[in-house]
Amino acid sequence: MGIKLAVVGATGMVGRKFLEVLEERNLPIDKFYVFASAKSKGTILKFQGKEYEVEELKEDSFDRGIDIALFSAGASTSLKYAKIAASKGCVVIDNSSAWRMDDTVPLVVPEVNPEDIKWHNGIIANPNCSTIQAVVALKPLDDKFDIKRIVYSTYQAVSGAGMGGYEDLVNGVKGMPQNKFPHPIAYNVLPHIDVFLENGYTKEEMKMINETRKIMHKKDLKITATTVRVPVFYGHSESINVEFNKDFELNEIYDALKNAPGVIIEDDPSSNKYPMPINAAGKDEVFVGRIRRDESVERGINMWVVADNIRKGAATNAVQIAQLLIK
């Protein structure tokens, strides 16, 4: 017997990627439903060789025994409809920021903390895209060397801001004004993702800090972050500086990463080999390179971490959670 699965926000950038990844991974789906806002009602989407008409999301949408729903329709939609879906026996895997820091909701990256799925109450949160790829690379290192402090500096693709961000780059290259970002993104770099908070950090920076602590079960871990938007379509890049409590040899760092699920090492400076977003686009793995000692501290390293933010950073991670639920 297959499952009844729904995608909420099916016509958006991540919603369409949900369909693509679900099809690739061939989940045992018996009944399939696609929901979106009223303006997308009637849109036809193709899935597994069939055509599906997008329904408007309503309070009674889940009155049909849906088992799992993948949400990517924004925080306000999730806050309203995730609890309704859960009350009908559906497990919601939510890609918005709505539930991530709720203590009653697990925040899950399957390669890092799959055990947290067990205590869900009908809602499981998908972390922020930049956090997901970071913790996939950090988890195996924390297991062996006990992380003391993290410094994040990110270089994030415009697709992380949805179609509006993507279009700002396309139009900006043509000399047209921007609509999504506060300044032009073409030929520019913006040290500004999401809104600024009272402490001078942006919301994106605080998301990375707080979500990393929650996923890795280290609520007092010292972390700081600077998140930056760059003129790249797909693929977030991150410079991650890590300080450990335990001593290490560099070859032990390589070994830990080489054997980690979902990680591919690309690190050969002699042949100019290192992770780049242009190569990570369309892939589900997290690519790690430029691994070297931080010679300014006793037990530190620098590494460069790249992944496709719409796939591993959103759609694939959610589908992996669904696969674990089905198991």
99-126 confidence digits (pLDDT tens): 999 999 999 999 999 999 999 999 999 9
Separation CA 312–CA 32 (nearest Å): 22
Write the DSSP assignment of 177-231 as a string of letters. PPSSSSS--TT--BS--S-B-TTS-BHHHHHHHHHHHHHTT-TT-EEEEEEEE-S
Please report, for residues 154, 164, 203, 226, 265, the alpha-carbon distance to residue 181 in angstroms, rounded to integers and kept in the order given.
17, 8, 15, 17, 33
Query: How does strand 55-56 pair with strand 29-36?
Result: parallel
Whole-number Å distance between alpha carbons of 282 and 278 = 9
Parallel, antiparallel or unpaired: strands 123-125 and 91-94: parallel
Asked whether the predicted pLDDT for residue 327 surpasses 90, the reply is: no
Question: pLDDT per residue over 88-98, tens digit each?
Answer: 999 999 999 99
The C-alpha atoms of residue 68 and residue 326 are separated, in whole angstroms, by 9
Residue-wise pLDDT for 20-78, tens only, equals 999 999 999 999 999 999 999 999 999 999 999 999 999 999 999 999 999 999 999 99
Instruction: Tell me: pLDDT of 271 over 80.
Output: yes
Q: Look at residue 145 and tell me whether its pLDDT is greater than 90.
A: yes
Mean pLDDT over 229-247 rounds to 98
The residue from 120, 129, 183, 217 that is catalytic is 129
Convert the pLDDT of each residue in 4-13 to its tens digit: 999 999 999 9
Q: What percentage of residues in the chain have a pLDDT greater than 70?
A: 100
Average pLDDT over residues 233-256: 98
Is the predicted pLDDT of residue 1 greater than 90, yes or no?
no
Q: What is the mean pLDDT of residues 313-321?
A: 98
| pLDDT tens-place string over residues 182-197 | 999 999 999 999 999 9
Mean pLDDT of 166-194: 98
183 as an active site residue: the answer is no
Arithmetic mean of pLDDT over the chain:
97
Q: What is the pLDDT of residue 201?
A: 98
Per-residue pLDDT averaged across 177-186, rounded?
98
HSE value, Cβ hemisphere, 13 Å, CA-based, for 247: 0
Write the pLDDT tens digit of every residue in 301-315.
Answer: 999 999 999 999 999
Q: Does the active-site annotation cover 129?
A: yes
Residue (of 164, 191, 199) closest to 179 by Cα position = 164
Per-residue model confidence (pLDDT) at position 207 = 98
